[in-house]
Amino acid sequence: MGGRVEHVFVESRHATILHADLDAFYASVEQRDDPRLRGRPVAVGGGVVLAASYEAKRRGVRTAMGGRQARGLCPDLIVVRPRFDAYVEASREVFAIFRDVTPQVQGVSIDEAFLDVRGLRRADPTVPAEHAARVRTRVRDEVGLPITVGVARTPFLAKVASRVAKPDGLLVVAPDDEDAFLHPLPVETLWGVGESTATRLHGYGLRTAGDVAALDERVLRGLLGPAAGSHLYAVVHGRTPERVVTDRARGSVGAQRALGRGPHSPEDVRAALLGLVDRVCRRMRAGHLTARTVVLRLRFADFSRATRSRSLAFGTASSDELRDAALGLLDAARDLVAARGITLVGVALTGLASDTVVQPPLPLSPPHDELDRTVDSLADRFGSRAVQRASLLVVGDGFEAPQLDDVTRPTRGPAQVTARGRR
């Protein structure tokens, strides 16, 4: 177990889709890294709960709940500050295990993914349930985290199976048992049915998937609207896409930092932005991409937001060129920042294209390209803080927050699953 193997794919009509979902991910990482937190109610966050351990969930604490409300429900709740670098690193380790099992991996979020083991043959043939069991064992032994896996014929059913199996479980839904598994479940369990849709269905006396399955599609379309009605009809009858989608092109690369309530000096904000630009440029170059448009995102003390953008004549991967554009946008917004008080700064690079097809400006290999490559190499080897701008060494970027998820846009191909499961 754990060695990389050759993968060969053939067609199959069995339950071959795995939905792997890390349990209470942020909180589980904290409990893994601090033995004092194990078995105790833990919330990650502060003013708002970002994640709750299962011990806290059993006391009524939920994601996105206010901190005061959470402590009212659970007076002995332990609240820890988020450590996003630790979560990103744990996610990378888990996804490496996924890709060691199969190259057909579709990431849904930082803590969940679909794996397609359709027709996957090893030297010793392994059924999907055994693949799922091995994924769970490896994630527990190598990363130290609990993970739930649902196995079914389609991504939708696999997602529902993992919901039912939580926490730290494994559930296989055989094709012949799909209706028997799905129809008794509450409508809230169905992927894509949110609170408002569930309330509407309850109002019509529809409380289980079986209740919904008994209706004609035209009736559902009339109750929920054409798109939602047809979608739900397909879900309860197992008529959803059977494949995961791994061929997705990035539409943007971004990062942001929450600065907290100030005041913040212009130098502090500028330093934070410089660090963000360096980070997203490294990620973009790692994907062999260039960007033509820089987008600056600002959030203010009154929770209002502002967005500014600037497009370049040509796509580029140069940190210097993209930095200059971002700083120009920030300078243009300085009066707005001074008046409202900034609490968050973010940057996104859009208009992405492959660096093999973009038209470069002259000279073809400017000196800063060599510098970028050298800095990227050092960062890959020694960490992102091994080489920093002198301005950051003096001021420091001073803030910790997660990078934005890369926005993806599907390439032409099979139908795909794009919805995200509710925590």
CATH number of this structure's domain 183-236: 1.10.150.20
- Between the two ends of the chain, the Cα-to-Cα distance in Å is 31
Maximum average pLDDT range among 5-9, 21-25, 316-320, 379-383: 21-25
pLDDT-derived band at 15 (thresholds 50, 70, 90) equals confident
Range(s) of the chain covered by CATH 1.10.150.20: 183-236
| Residue type at 21 in one-letter notation | D
Residue 319 has pLDDT above 80, yes or no: yes
CATH number of this structure's domain 1-173: 3.30.70.270
Nearest to 293 by CA among 328, 326, 257: 326
Residue 366 has pLDDT above 50, yes or no: no
Residue 381 has pLDDT above 60, yes or no: no
pLDDT-derived band at 369 (thresholds 50, 70, 90) equals low
Residue 252 has pLDDT above 50, yes or no: yes
DSSP character for 176? Answer: G
Residue 260 has pLDDT above 90, yes or no: no
Antiparallel, parallel or unpaired: β 49-52 and 42-45: antiparallel
Please list, in sequence order, all residues whose beta carbon lies within 8 angstroms of the beta carbon of residue 332, skipping any fewer than 6 positions away.
308
Mark residue 390 as left, alpha or beta (left: phi above 0; alpha: psi -120 to 50; beta: remaining). alpha
Q: Is 277 exposed, middle or buried (0-12, 13-18, 19+ CB in 10 A)?
A: buried
Please list, in sequence order, all residues whose beta carbon lies within 8 angstroms of the beta carbon of residue 405, skipping any fewer than 6 positions away.
109, 110
| pLDDT tens-digit series, residues 156-170 | 899 999 999 999 999
DSSP character for 143? Answer: I
Residues 249 and 407: their CA atoms lie apart, in Å, by: 9
The stretch 357-361 carries a mean pLDDT of 43
DSSP-assigned states of every residue in 354-377:
ETTTS-PPSSSS-HHHHHHHHHHH
Nearest to 97 by CA among 137, 149, 152: 137
Residue 420 has pLDDT above 50, yes or no: no
The stretch 173-184 carries a mean pLDDT of 92
Computed over every residue of the chain, the mean pLDDT equals 79
Residues 336 and 305: their CA atoms lie apart, in Å, by: 11
pLDDT-derived band at 246 (thresholds 50, 70, 90) equals low
How far lies 139's CA from each of 2, 147, 216, 318, in Å?
A: 10, 7, 43, 37
Tokens of 379: 């960062």
- For residues 257 and 276, is the Cβ–Cβ distance under 8 A? yes
pLDDT of residue 327: 95
pLDDT of residue 43: 96
Residue 128 has pLDDT above 90, yes or no: no
Q: Which positions are catalytic?
A: 112
The stretch 63-85 carries a mean pLDDT of 93
Domain 248-410 -> CATH class:
alpha beta
3-class secondary-structure state, position 63: coil
Range(s) of the chain covered by CATH 3.30.1490.100: 248-410
pLDDT of residue 113: 93
Q: Which of 189-203, 216-230, 340-354, 376-390 has the lowest mean pLDDT?
A: 376-390
How far lies 270's CA from each of 67, 118, 310, 401, in Å?
A: 31, 49, 17, 16
pLDDT of residue 168: 93
Residue 251 has pLDDT above 90, yes or no: no
Range(s) of the chain covered by CATH 3.30.70.270: 1-173
How far lies 305's CA from each of 66, 331, 343, 344, 385, in Å?
A: 22, 16, 10, 9, 29
3-class secondary-structure state, position 388: coil
pLDDT-derived band at 384 (thresholds 50, 70, 90) equals very low
Residue 407 has pLDDT above 50, yes or no: no
Maximum average pLDDT range among 75-89, 100-114, 255-269: 75-89
pLDDT of residue 219: 92
Residue 116 has pLDDT above 60, yes or no: yes
Find residue 80's DSSP bridge partners: 44
Residues 207 and 349: their CA atoms lie apart, in Å, by: 44
pLDDT-derived band at 126 (thresholds 50, 70, 90) equals low
- 261 or 137, which is more confident: 137
pLDDT of residue 101: 86
pLDDT of residue 79: 96
